[in-house]
Structure 1
Amino acid sequence: MIKLLMAEDEKLDREMLRSGIHWNQLGIELVGVADNGNTAWEIFRDQQPDIVLTDIKMPIMDGIALSNEIKKTYPETKLIFMSGYQDFEYAKAGIDFRIVEYLTKPINLEELSHLLARTVEGCVAEKSQKYEKERFRHQLAESLPLLKERFYKDWVHGVYPDEEIIREKALFLGIQLYLYTYIIVADMDNYADGTSSFNEYSKQLLDSSILNCISEIVPDPDRAFIFRNKEGQYVILLHDDEEQSSTFFTALSEKIKININMNAKMNVTLSMGGLANNAGLIPDHYKKALEALNYKFFYGQNHVIYYDAIAEPDLGTLPDKDLYFSKILSAVKAVDKDKVLQLIDELFHRLRENRRFSVVYVRNVCIELLSKALISLNDFNKNITEHFNDISVYERILTCDHLSVLSDYIKQAFDNIFSVISDTFRTKHARIIETIKKTVENRYSEEISVEEIAAEVYLSPSYATTLFKNETNETIIQYLTGIRIKKAMELLQDDTIKIYEVSQRVGYSNITYFSSLFKNHVGITPKEFRAKG
């Protein structure tokens, strides 16, 4: 409802207006009726109506004085004057505020009703606009921190094409721009692994802790802005009207690092992109900070890296890379694990001592080495390449953020290769031993030689004997003799088979040699064994 206050000194006119207007139908609440300006002003201050319907000529305080009082404190109030024509012409000299309308007496109720309806409509529209403005201001106030963060993110990422746009947006958000801005990027080391078991609430707590650790150290929080660029990475912008030295910011970064180490229990690498003396140069210095951060790959974790202190990569290549590859692949084929690991250490020492190699080049060297090793072993065992064909193996190489971590991973990969090779040898040897045993068991009755048995598994007699001995702790001849003696003992149980026939059936044409061999193994002669049985 729209509130209205009526001021009229004539009683008959007051009653006519009070009873002759359908206030509720017009959406009006009549909050007061006064017979003079002074009383009207008291009611006005208490009720603060939207519309004042007032006569001009009234005792104590007339309509003009009343209107002037209203103007001072509530200028948006709608005023409708009622007066004779001559009175109104006289009063216009004292009216310098907005009047919705005026009516000359005698008042026409129908005309007044139409006027009130239009005035109510205007009040409702203004209230709606005012509400929307207030709602917008409220939303803006609530979202201001997010809008500021969005502005800074877009700023450092080079979204704004020129400095004038940056200044306009900063002014809208109430952000003061300074002559100098220094950019630091804080990157949490091993963030993904360290938070893999965290739920979202735990991550938010850690995020708040890290932001607090940074805020505690910055010298003037009102001249600094800190935001999370992505999970585990934060951007710090420090503004000032005076130029500070790189030594100052290096010391500041060290303090931030120590504070995060102690209170957030995280290792952190901070990279410094230098001092920007122009708002439009912020993106360039942000890129420098990210480039410096890449050198964590060489410097290691929990360090402060200054862009101007790093060497520009020459994008060169390691001269003796192919020689190292050749030596490593030869050692792999020779199944010399210790030699392979030694050569990998030497290779990474060469890569580490020259930090002018790009990170991409170093990673590509590792991918090439692993790929060549797998290809060279493909003919030996296809299971090896299948075992390492998972794309995650190469993704791990591409995401290793430190050279020592990459070195350990490559050595672990080759260790896994040797495990597969060992499993392959064990499987292959088991098949060879099984074939030799079956050959002996099937042909023990023949006068078979070691050469013939080795030929069945396509090995030389000496290698076949050595392999069989290593796997079974006995020679092929010993295994053959054992099988023959066991079969002879079974045949001797049958009295219808003569002893010389037993000798022949188990592969011995010389019965004397058979009897001597049998006694050496069983402790008694074949004849004594039969008699005893």
Structure 2
Amino acid sequence: MIRALIVDDEEWTRISLCKQADWKALGIELAGEARNGISAMELIRERKPHIVITDIRMPAMDGIQLMELLHAEFPHVLIIVISGYSDFEYARKALSFGAFEYILKPIETEPLMSALERAVDKLLHERERQADYVDLYRKANLSELLSKEKVLTRLVTSTASDSKEIENALRRHDILLDWPRTAVLAIEVANFGEISARRYKQDKDLAHFVLANVIGELFRKYPRTILFRNIGKDNELILLKGLDEEEDQTNMASLYEDCRLIIDTVKQATQFELNIGIGREFTELTDIHRSYVQACEAVQNAELVHASRVTHFDEVSSRNEYYIYPNDKEKALLYYVGNQYKGQAVALVAGLFEEMKRNAALHPQSIRSTALGLIFAINQALSPYQASINGLGIGNAENTIRSTRLTVDELSADVQRIVIAAIDYLSSRKKTGSYRGVEEIVEYLGTHFHEEITLGGVAERYFLNPAYLSRIFKNETGQTFNDYVNTLRLEAATRLLKDPTLKMSAVSEMTGYMSEKYFFKKFKEHYGCTPTEYRNRKA
């Protein structure tokens, strides 16, 4: 049975969620409720839920802090975030910590059930995958398929819940992990593709053999170590380091320092450049995957924490502040990009990253999320042109920012490069006269003319300078903005006047004229007669 936990400081919300979903039909058992992150973590450690449904704003420990703890301790738990705050930054934070779904309050049954169904499907699929893998373990003739490297790779890269199954699988392949404590080291080979092509003629197996032998020899001084390549990643090796109960921080510091020497030695001997991330130690084999995830996160975020090639996960997780750039900065960026103010846009981006760089307590994921938020804003500025950043010939910017090992300065430079590319693209489109933005505005006016519409309001919606919009609108349509809107309204009025049951006040209001007197005035100016006279003629 799949277990779920509800976390919200409002009792009526917890009660509503309990009653709103058909838990039995979904195959979900409610494991409990909590009113904040602190009490939630106690229940999570005790009852081991598979799904956590949490609010963002809560006392004592809020939803973002809870997600950070879950991300570190229980990375396999699926998190569904509920919040009454539609601010993009909250969603971005939630997603950066692996939130499975984000639902806004008031919670409607359909999106809630849909999110829960998807979560159940994902969990069941993972169980089936693990069951298939366990079944493979039990087959006697798979010695070639299940080599030690494949077994160990699967062990660290997949979540598992049965330590006995793991021990039996390892024993069948003569692999012993019977140490009191263990740490996982993820060893990234930054230039594996380049060196294997240049020095080993694209023979990746030979490159792996050389690399593993050199690194293995250098780690030989350490007892209780197992080194193997990650079968799923060409550029990664994994080291399992066993620790005795009496081994203290001094021993770990020695290992930490020796990793730096090993990196230098490997570079001199093979030209391979290594980055090493170290996960937290664990005592239960079922926690090996968590330590591996932490080691990978340490490698990925090392440059955002310090300039070292060896990073412990604690150096990443100890940074617990989150940056939310002001809305006025985002609006300013949209305005600068939309109007091709390149210098101002680049300076704004540079200033934001310089501010983050000065804050040594910022979580690396917060810095990446800010970069992604800026990209999201730039895409908004490009949308009136039916364009996006990925179509500007600069690669997949979002993937680069999400997964590449970058410094704050490199992230800043990447976003500045994207800003420049977006502005250059907009400038070229306008020079060739192919401005689809006016077409989109015309479409918008055609469906919203009955609302209160102003040139300034539409310019703000499409991130344009009002004077500039006024000029290009006249060039493209042959009418001023106000004349165009007025024509749309009056044409709609003539259609409505064909219905004799509609009062003039209703026709006036339905076409966007808040004053009936003003409606009569504009109608007569345009058609040479009053609306009443027009209706009588058409009757």
Q: TM-score, normalised by structure 2?
A: 0.46
* Structure index of larger Rg: 1
Q: TM-score, normalised by structure 1?
A: 0.46
